[in-house]
Amino acid sequence: MLQISNLMVFYENALALNDFSMKVEKGQIVAVIGSNSAGKTTLMNTVSGLIIDTKIKEQRKGGERITLYGKIVFDGKDITELHPSERVKEGLVLCRERHPIFPESDLVENLRIAGYLRKRSEVSSTIEYVFDLFPTLLRLKTRKAGFLSGGEQQMLTIGMALMVKPKLLLLDEPLLGLSPIMQKTLVDAILKIRKEAGLTIVVTEQFARPILPVIDHGYVVENGMLSLDGPGLELMENPEVKAAYFGV
């Protein structure tokens, strides 16, 4: 479903991703594990195309800072040059890191803004689906999103992505800064949406422990390079992974 080949991303002269390749099959949950500044967000922004928008904006102002090489194929289509808003229409949706929401709008309005590409009737039925998935959100319906807790905002971001009805969902560090209970809620939700909505999911994390047991395949990135990959359970047994990404 998603095939990334030999991706290279430069910020000025700094290499953020170095000859990175990975593959995601339909219906899989795939993890990208890496520590701070390994290049996870760069990868997510490149796949979702946001980096192209940043690049275009910088070029308009006369700067040539970002350079991209490599190829991204999604659903049999080469999307390497596609504008991010077009990629969303193809069904490729990113939840950016640190749960960005629209702080001035209330929770329901956030979901309705996220339903921009959908029909009115689909919007209301998907909102109901989101409340089904995260019942906690239901009683916070009219709360301004800026006043939600980090965990609630994270649920909302995932809900917003679901509003688009994606085929492939990219989650950039969805578990960051959450309690073990909240992490479990989210991991369960991830499993549930894969099952119910038939989604394919790519998730990045620094800590492998909560996510490895549920993934089909994992990639470990160090300094922008692929250092090893394998099925989730295999990575769990790997002493290097244990030492570096399991915390204390």
Partner 1 sequence: MLEVTIIYGFINSIILALIALGFSLTFGISGVSNFAYGAMYIMAGYAVWIMINLIGLPFPVAAILAVIFTALFGLALYRLVLLRVRGMVISEVIATFGVGLAILELFRYLGFTGFEYTLPVFTDGSLMIGDTYIDHQRLWIVGIGISLALGLYLFTRYTKTGLAFRGIAQDEQTALSLGINSDRVAGLSVAFGSGLAAIAAILILPRGTISVNEGYDVLINAMAVCIIGGLGSTVGVIVASFMIGYAQMITDAFSGPHWKMIVSLVAILIILLVKPSGLFGKQKELEERI
Ligand X SMILES: Nc1ncnc2c1ncn2[C@@H]1O[C@H](COP(=O)(O)OP(=O)(O)OP(=O)(O)O)[C@@H](O)[C@H]1O
CA-based nearest residue to 204, from 4, 25, 36, 15: 36
Q: How far is CA 111 from the centre of its chain?
A: 17
Q: Of 5, 8, 11, 214, which lies in the binding site for ligand X, with binding defined by CB under 6 A?
A: 11
Residue keyed to tokens 């997510």: 44
Q: Does 40 bind ligand X (CB under 6 A)?
A: yes
Stretch that binds ligand X, among 34-42, 79-87, 112-120, 155-163 (CB under 6 A): 34-42
The CA distance from 189 to 184, in Å, is 8
Taking CA atoms, 171 is separated from 94, 106, 119, 187, 236, in Å, by: 6, 22, 24, 11, 21
Residues 93-122 as x/- pattern, contact with Mg ion by CB under 5 A? ----x-------------------------
Exposure on the CB side of residue 165, measured as CA atoms within 13 A:
12
* Nearest to Mg ion of 41, 153 (CB atom): 41
* Nearest to ligand X of 38, 175 (CB atom): 38
Residue 55 parent element (H or E): helix 50-60
CB of residue 248 to partner 1, shortest distance in Å: 34
Site for partner 1 in 51-80 (CB under 8 A): 53, 57, 60-61
* Nearest to ligand X of 16, 127 (CB atom): 16
Tokens (6 digits) for 200: 């394919």
Stretch that binds Mg ion, among 41-49, 67-75, 107-115, 210-218 (CB under 5 A): 41-49
CB of residue 100 to Mg ion, shortest distance in Å: 12
Tokens (6 digits) for 100: 């960005």
Q: Does 95 bind ligand X (CB under 6 A)?
A: no
Q: Does 167 bind ligand X (CB under 6 A)?
A: no
Residue 22 parent element (H or E): strand 14-24
Q: Of 37, 59, 125, 179, which lies in the binding site for ligand X, with binding defined by CB under 6 A?
A: 37
* Nearest to partner 1 of 117, 236 (CB atom): 117
Residue keyed to tokens 């640190």: 98
CA-based nearest residue to 152, from 214, 106, 115: 106
Q: Does 117 bind partner 1 (CB under 8 A)?
A: yes
- Give strand pairing partners of 228: 220
Residues 45-84 as x/- pattern, contact with Mg ion by CB under 5 A? ----------------------------------------
Q: Does 42 bind Mg ion (CB under 5 A)?
A: no
Provide CB contacts within 8 A for 60, sequence distance 6+.
Answer: none
Q: Which residues of this chain interact with ligand X, rule CB under 6 A?
A: 11, 16, 34, 36-42, 97, 206
